[in-house]
Structure 1
Amino acid sequence: MTDKTQALYGLLQQVRPLHRRVARSVGDHLDGTGIGVGERAVLALLVESGPLSVPAIGRALFLPRQNVQKWVDGLRAADLVERRANPAHRRSYLIAATEAGRRLFAEIRKREDAAVADLAARLSPADVNVATQVLSACLEHFSPFEDDPDHPGPLA
């Protein structure tokens, strides 16, 4: 194994703990909002992308639509999202962020941005660009192993 291969393997080994720590940080920034990490992900997608169907949200988040439906139901109960008619499909509604949902997400992002700013201060723009290039290359390289969130494969 070359030094570069070993270094890249070591980097890949850090992805899972990084993901877990980021998820915990996101959860910490949700204190007092009444929503959890999954609901935050759905709300963020709807605020940033506009109305989507539950299956489309699931595909975008690489999650089973059953999980997404549960989070959408919670967000609807809190009046943070609403159902709208879907011109492309009679039985599948579009889910859209309400004004209250957009305001809540803006508040959440302020909290998150302040935390990320502390990390950003430690890194140069070149550092961030290189890290982005490496992660993008990893995502592309491993894309043949992408799974369908509604039909989990052997790794589910």
Structure 2
Amino acid sequence: MSSTDPDGLTRQLVGLFAAVNRRYAREIEQAAAAHRLTALQAKALLAAERPVRMRAVADTVHAEPSNVTAIVDRLEERGLVERRPDPADRRVKLVAATGQGREVTADLRRRMPFVNDPFTALGTGEREQLLDMLQRLMAD
């Protein structure tokens, strides 16, 4: 099958999506490892650069809130985040990076150029086209 037949094109596209995903994951893992963090811990820490609810952290790392509790516990033990009451609803806890946590997030971002902008090679119009195409793929 040539790369121009529909099945060949589909395989190429799927392969490229997988390669982008692997590169993204590898870059996060390597940056996290430099700080003795797991990829999930690094993502959670990045989510907490500004105070956020646990639910937002869970959404960011694509995990259940109950699983995020253990991740945040480990980050808190290392002094990278703290829990504080939400001023808008004292029953809710926010997770926020500490000063040390913000230093780590800054270094994580420096170590992750592809994660920060995997579409840097595309212009605005191309990004808009890709967004439209991906939204159509994901539409029910």
Name the TM tier (shorter chain).
0.7 to 0.9
Provide the residue aligned with 1:46 in structure 2: 48
2:122 to 111, 115, 127: 127
CA–CA distance in structure 2, aligned partners of residues 130 and 20 of structure 1: 26
Within 5 Å, give how 1:15-94 maps onto structure 2. 15-47=17-49, 50-94=50-94
Corresponding residue of 1:106? 106
Unpaired segments ≥5 residues, structure 2:
none
Q: Give the drift of 1:138.
A: 4.3
Q: Quickly say closer, same or farther: Cα 1:8–1:96, change in 2 above 3 A.
A: same
Distance in 2 separating the partners of 1:62 and 1:138: 23
CA distance in 1, matches of 2:16, 2:56: 29
Report the Cα offset of residue 108 of structure 1. 1.7
CA–CA distance in 1 between the matches of 2:101 and 2:126? 32
Q: Using a 3 Å threshold, how does the CA distance of structure 1 residues 104 and 11 change in structure 2: closer, same or farther?
A: same
| Partner Cα distance (1:142, 1:43) in 2 | 31
Work out the CA distance in 1 between the residues paired with 2:30 and 2:42. Answer: 12
More strand by share: 2
Count of aligned pairs between the two proteins: 136
TM-score (norm 2): 0.74
Percent sequence identity over matched residues?
Answer: 26
CA distance in 2, matches of 1:75, 1:68: 11
CA, structure 1 residues 144+57, in 2 after alignment: closer, same or farther (shift >3 Å)? farther
1:111-153 Cα distance to aligned partner (Å, 9 max, x none): 2239989x96xxxxx63546533542244224456xxxxxxxx
